[in-house]
Amino acid sequence: MTKKYDALIIGGGHNGLVCAFYLARAGLKVRILERRDVIGGAAVTEEFAPGFRNSVASYTVSLLNPKVISDMKLADHGYRVIERPVSNFLPLSDKDYILMGGGLERTQAEFRRFSAKDADALPAYYEALENVADVLRSLSLQAPPNVGDGMKSLVDAVKQGWGLAGMPLNQQRDVLDLFVKSATSFLDSWFESDPVKAGFGFDAVVGNYASPDTPGSAYVLLHHVFGEVNGKKGAWGHCVGGM
């Protein structure tokens, strides 16, 4: 007997599961098709040896939108995140390293070992990224304008672009820099110490598989402050029990 569905979701990854949830909640009859016997896609935890489990792809969380967490009532099903106390550890030699994260003052104190100028620049650097991230957060739950909708699409585009257009000129420059510059170029404009730039540069290449000299790689720096954990913007954490 052939069953009829309003929507078929190809792939039971975390995005597919969330999509199916919202479609089903809206009253549609949904079916998810997944070739594996494990659902979750990149956000899975699997046993790699008897008694030992590991998050095999996605290993930390920040970009899971708070509205999705609330709508799906994930906390009622055991979702709990422990905030990450340190963001990056970069060994420099047998006797030295740079440790990033754990709060502004702690990171500034670490930077001051390499450059007082870089330590002083850090608050403004964080503020620049946060200003851009705030605008993009406001857009993340909005459907992009549909080009085929005529005047409506123009109105939607104006509404969604208003946040960017209303930013001060220096912040608009930051937006353009983060989307078109390389991470190397962007970081060079803020910091002078190679260890400091290397510590941030890691964020521009992880998961990106591109050189920090690649145009557009500065965006990945923004990507790392875009999310939040437990109501704290820019924080990352580990999901108890695995992703």
Provide DSSP, 109-145. HHHHTT-HHHHHHHHHHHHHHHHHHHHHHHHTTSPPP
Tell me which residue of 200, 208, 237 sits closest to 63, measured CA to CA: 237
Amino acid at 238: H
pLDDT in tens, 124-176: 999 999 988 888 887 778 777 777 777 777 777 666 666 666 777 888 888 88
187/201 Cα distance (integer angstroms): 8
Q: Name residues whose C-beta falls within 8 Å of residue 230's C-beta, 6 or more positions apart in sequence.
A: 81, 83, 237
Residue 243 CB coordination number (10 Å)? 19
Query: What is the reported pLDDT for 1?
Result: 46
Torsion-angle region of 81 (φ positive above 0: left; ψ -120 to 50: alpha; else: beta) = beta
Contact between 237 and 83 (Cβ < 8 Å): yes
Contact between 145 and 170 (Cβ < 8 Å): no
| Ordered per-residue pLDDT tens for the chain, 243 residues | 468 999 999 999 999 999 999 999 999 999 999 999 999 999 999 998 999 999 989 989 999 999 999 999 999 999 999 999 888 899 998 789 999 988 899 999 999 999 999 999 999 999 999 988 888 887 778 777 777 777 777 777 666 666 666 777 888 888 888 888 999 999 999 999 999 999 999 888 887 888 999 999 998 898 888 889 999 988 899 999 998
172/41 Cα distance (integer angstroms): 36
Q: What is the dihedral of CA 192, 91, 210, 66, to 10 degrees?
A: -90
